[in-house]
Amino acid sequence: MSDTPVKQQSTTAFYGQAVASFAVALAATAAGIYHLRTDGWVRAFLGIAVLYLVTSAFTLAKVIRDRQEAGRIVSRVDQARLEKLLAEHDPFEKL
């Protein structure tokens, strides 16, 4: 009666592609900032901005994942309570 959802996992290829894409994007941005024809403090500011953006993106992804997992747990608890009530209910019992 209870359906246990299958835990979905990313494939190794998808994980590798995500890591490679992140590395290429970060390297390309760093190379672009390095080759700018401007003062060092401007390049340093842009470098710090990129690092801040990356850490913010990781934090946002973690918060979204945590909220989604918490929602799944609450949903499973509610489903278990409903199944228990339905299992204990006898429609032919006199009130």
**In the predicted model, what is the mean pLDDT of the chain?**
85
The predicted structure's pLDDT at residue 1: 46
Of 14-18, 25-29, 84-88, the range with the highest mean pLDDT is: 25-29
Q: What is the pTM for the complete model shown?
A: 0.60
Among the listed residues 47, 7, 52, the one whose alpha carbon sits nearest the alpha carbon of residue 27: 47
The CA distance from 61 to 39, in Å, is 34
User: Could you tell me the sign of the dihedral formed by the alpha carbons of 76, 81, 84, 86, in that order?
Assistant: negative
The predicted structure's pLDDT at residue 80: 79
Chain segment 22-53, per-residue pLDDT in tens: 999 999 999 999 999 999 999 999 999 999 99
Long-range contacts of 46-55 (CB under 8 A, 24+ apart): 50/26, 54/26
Question: Could you report how far apart the first and last alpha carbons of the chain are, in Å?
Answer: 27
